[in-house]
Every structure is written in C-alpha cells, then in structure tokens.
C-alpha cells in the first residue's frame, strides 16, 4: 500500500465538517472518520417528523416541524364550530322538475328536468280566433286598455268594416276636440279620418267588408297608412302635429274620453289584431281569442300577459278558431 503524508490541518478540517453536518461536538480519530461520515443522514442528519394539527377556529395557520427536525407529512383536522343560524352545505340536490327549489343546505346541484311541452301558458288558457266582432245595436261592447298615448305613440289595427261612418274604432281623447288620438279609419268610400291632436280627413277609396291594415304614427313614423291585405298601400299622409299627453287609456271599438270618463263613438267592425307602439317599438299587441274555461270572448295582450274582456254592454261575436 502506498503511503500518503496527511498534515494536522487537513484532518482537523475533515473533523470540523463531520461535526457541522452532525451538529455535534464529538472528537474523532482518523480511523473513526470514515464511519462518522457514513452515519450522516441525508437532509443534514435531521430527524423526520409527522405532524398532526387540530384547527378549531377560522384563520391562517402554519405547520412547522419541531426544532432540529424535518417535516415528512402533516395531518390537519378542522373542526370549526358553525355559528347559530348558519348551515354547512353538504350533499347534492337532485332537481327533476321545474319550479323554485331551496338548495341552501347542499354543496352541489344536479338538474335533470325532462323536456316536455314548450307551449306558453296563455295558449293553454285561451283559444285564438280569426277575429272578434262588435255587432250593430243600440249599445256596443268595447275594451279599455292600459295604454296612454304621447307624441311618440302610434296605433295599428287590422280590421274590416260593414259600413262607412264617423265612429271611431280605436283611440282616446282629452278635454277637447283638439286633443285626439285616433287610429285612422274609413270615413266614407272615398275618405279616411285620423286623430293626432287635431282630426284630419284624407282622400282614399276603400270598400266595405274588406280587410285593411290601418296605422296612425305607428312606430313613430309620423305617417298615416292604409294597406290592403296583400301589403299594397291604398293611401295616407304625413303627420305634422304634436300630440298632447293622453291621460285616458286607449279603448278599442270606440274612443275613451278623459273629459267624460266614458267610451263614446262606439263602432261595429271585425277586429283581427291591434297594436300600440311607443317610439320605434311595439309595446302592446292585442290578439282575438276566448277563454277556454268559460268561453268569454276578448283580447289577449301578450306584453303584459293580460286578458281583456268586454267593458261595455252587449257581447262580442267571434270568428273561427285558428292556431296561435
């Protein structure tokens, strides 16, 4: 074996390194140094430790090993009391039908509602018909809506008339003849009439018992229009007047008067539909129908989900049942 000269400083350095790693003050002979080095554990020779922590209140916690040890794993047990009136969400709520469900006590929700009929409720309650009709008599049925006109408002009806005269099919009026809000209508076989603050007559040839679409400032167009069923424009004109705010709601089969609180100038005709607009939007649409439960005839308004029935005397007649 070859001989090697080792000086004292080298041996002292080796011994110091062993003591540092083992965190001890032991002294070593040269013959003991090899075993001492082999006995040094990985991780600096620190003992591994499993730590268990119980948490009983809310907050932020650090899990640290004891001095001179390293953490190999940690078990945390949380048992924070729930304040009175609070619920700890737990479990899964199964929802299999439409409706309102209380899910506060569940940590998750599984919705599995079988698809069924998508028919709107109003179609179940009411049967749509081709038209409703006010027949000529000493008294007439009519309907008062909830819509009050202003300068941006418009009216539209699809209707046919058995005769030509000066009675109003749809509208309202304030305290004088200069505050009228009437849907345009046939005045005679050669003229139409409308009200937008003032009343105005326009030349236009129309026929009795013929379906027309009639509009006064509908969608704030500032126009009066009369169309045939095929879409051909029969006549009309422009609107320059400014409409005074109406306080009396619009009525159908006559006009509602704020001054008298009554519907007057009631008119007989067949109504296929009626709409009201404000600005450039339709805000009311009245559909002829009858209530299935008792057969009462009226108008269903789909924006407010309201069924309007006769506010006058007499009764409405109706056309054939049709699809919604």
Looking at residue 15, what is its pLDDT? 75
Task: Please tell me the least confidently modeled range out of 12-21, 142-151, 193-202.
Answer: 12-21
Check residues 169 and 70 and name the one with the higher pLDDT.
Answer: 169
Confidence grade of residue 301 (pLDDT, cut at 50, 70, 90): very high
- Per-residue pLDDT tens for 212-229? 999 999 999 999 999 999
Residue-averaged pLDDT of the chain:
86
Which fold is adopted by the domain 122-318? Jelly Rolls (2.60.120)
DSSP calls for 227-256: EETTS-EEEEEE----PPPP-SPPEESEEE
What is the tens place of the pLDDT at every residue in 5-63? 666 777 777 778 778 877 788 887 777 777 877 777 665 556 777 878 777 777 777 77
Pairing of strands 233-238, 170-173: unpaired
Statement: residue 137 has pLDDT above 70: no
Residue 137 CA to residue 141 CA, distance in Å, equals 10
Global pTM reads 0.65
307's tokens: 């069924």
Q: What is the distance between the alpha carbons of residues 167 and 268, in angstroms, rounded to a whole number?
A: 9
**Domain boundaries defined on the chain:** 47-81, 88-116, 122-318
Element (H or E) spanning 35, and its range? Answer: helix 33-38
């Amino acid at each position: 074996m070859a001989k090697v000269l080792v000086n004292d400083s080298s041996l002292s350095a080796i011994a110091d390194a062993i003591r540092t790693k083992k965190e001890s003050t032991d002294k070593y002979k040269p013959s003991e140094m090899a075993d001492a080095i082999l006995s040094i554990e990985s991780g600096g020779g620190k003992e591994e430790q499993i730590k268990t922590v119980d948490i009983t209140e809310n907050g932020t916690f650090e899990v640290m090993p004891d001095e001179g040890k390293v953490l190999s794993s940690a078990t945390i047990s949380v048992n924070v009391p729930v304040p009175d009136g609070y619920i700890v969400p737990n479990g899964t709520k199964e929802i299999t039908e439409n409706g309102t469900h209380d899910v506060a006590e569940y940590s998750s929700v599984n919705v599995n509602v079988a698809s069924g009929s998508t028919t709107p409720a109003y179609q179940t309650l009411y049967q749509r018909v081709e038209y409703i009709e006010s027949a000529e008599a000493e008294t007439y049925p009519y309907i008062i809506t909830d819509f009050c006109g202003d300068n941006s408002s418009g009216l539209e009806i699809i209707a046919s008339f058995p005769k030509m005269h000066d009675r109003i099919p749809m509208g309202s009026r304030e305290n004088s003849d200069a505050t009228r809000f009437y849907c345009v209508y046939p005045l005679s076989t050669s003229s139409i009439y409308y009200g937008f603050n003032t009343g105005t007559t326009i030349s236009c040839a129309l026929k009795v018992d013929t379906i027309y679409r009639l509009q006064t400032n509908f969608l704030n167009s500032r126009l009066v229009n009369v169309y045939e069923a095929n879409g051909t424009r029969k006549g009309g004109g422009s609107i320059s007047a400014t409409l005074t705010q109406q306080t009396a709601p619009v009525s159908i089969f006559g006009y509602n008067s704020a001054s008298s609180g009554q519907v007057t100038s009631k008119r007989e005709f067949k109504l296929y539909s009626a709409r009201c607009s404000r600005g450039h939007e339709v805000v009311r649409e009245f559909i002829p129908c009858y209530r299935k439960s008792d057969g009462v005839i009226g108008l269903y308004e789909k924006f407010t989900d309201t069924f309007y029935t006769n506010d006058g005397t007499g009764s409405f007649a109706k056309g054939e049942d049709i699809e919604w």
